[in-house]
A and B are shown apart, each in its own frame.
Chain A
Amino acid sequence: DGGITQSPKYLFRKEGQNVTLSCEQNLNHDAMYWYRQDPGQGLRLIYYSQIVNDFQKGDIAEGYSVSREKKESFPLTVTSAQKNPTAFYLCASIGSGGANYGYTFGSGTRLTVV
């Protein structure tokens, strides 16, 4: 089945440590997105990429970094500069047919600082 795979499902980060969240899709979608969700809140956009080797900052990019070396993959690194990283992280993609087909989301990664 086509879809988006996020890993790991749960991730624990120590203070001052960088961690990388994986997002892989086999939908042949061009555009991919990273959102952050905090308890009781809607999703906020961190970074997005509309094509390989190109990406743009979203509303809350500080303390995060991304790469898009392959169409299928859009990993997110949470750096030590992100002071409040505990949250639920969701990856999404949208097809080249534009927004006509809507978004597809992964199942998320829950990151906790220990």
Chain B
Amino acid sequence: KQEVTQIPAALSVPEGENLVLNCSFTDSAIYNLQWFRQDPGKGLTSLLLIQSSQREQTSGRLNASLDKSSGRSTLYIAASQPGDSATYLCAVSLSGSRLTFGEGTQLTVNP
């Protein structure tokens, strides 16, 4: 059974700092991996989708990497801003259909 772990569970940083969120998964035979953002009481917003054949994806200040063989992904946020404060969720798909989620990293960026 696929298990997804996110470290750390919570992170507080000053504005402007570069930061890395970690995600690990137990079954390396994934189809793809997706990073989401969730604001309190809201749904999920897709940030980046990495296919199993890809090593990384970039969108603005966000960069996600994927190392299938080691079962790891990282989400890099450059020059963090208070508006980045949210919970970040990592999810993997084995078949291109259902997702298995980690428990998330709660990020607070202090002005």
A residues with CB within 8 A of B: 6, 31, 33, 35, 40-45, 48, 50, 58, 88, 90, 92, 94, 98-108, 110
Q: What is the distance, in angstroms, from A45's C-beta to the closest C-beta of chain B?
A: 5
* Docked pose: A33 CA to B101 CA in angstroms: 14
* Docked pose: A99 CA to B43 CA in angstroms: 19
If A42-B104, A45-B98, A102-B49 touch, does A90 touch B41 (CB 8 Å cutoff)? no
Q: What is the distance, in angstroms, from A49's C-beta to the closest C-beta of chain B?
A: 11
Interface presence of B71 (CB below 8 A): no
- Mask, B30-47, CB within 8 Å of A = 1, is 011010100001111110
* Additional pairs, 20, CB under 8 Å, beyond known A42-B104, A44-B101: A33-B99, A35-B101, A42-B4, A42-B101, A43-B99, A43-B101, A45-B99, A48-B97, A88-B41, A100-B32, A100-B49, A101-B49, A103-B34, A103-B44, A105-B43, A105-B46, A106-B43, A107-B43, A108-B43, A110-B41
* Docked pose: A104 CA to B103 CA in angstroms: 19
Size band of the interface chain B makes with A: 20 to 34
If A40-B103, A42-B103, A98-B96 touch, does A103 touch B46 (CB 8 Å cutoff)? yes
Tell me if A99 and B89 are in contact (CB < 8 A). no
Tell me if B42 and A108 are in contact (CB < 8 A). yes
Q: Which residue on B lies nearest to A42, using beta carbons?
A: B101
Q: What is the distance, in angstroms, from B24's C-beta to the closest C-beta of chain A?
A: 13
Residues of A within 8 A of B96 (CB): 98-99
Tell me if A31 and B97 are in contact (CB < 8 A). yes
Residues of B within 8 A of A48 (CB): 97-98
Most A-side CB within 10 Å, residue of B43, B49, B98, B99: B43
If A41-B103, A102-B49 touch, does A33 touch B42 (CB 8 Å cutoff)? no
If A42-B89, A42-B104, A99-B31 touch, does A104 touch B46 (CB 8 Å cutoff)? yes
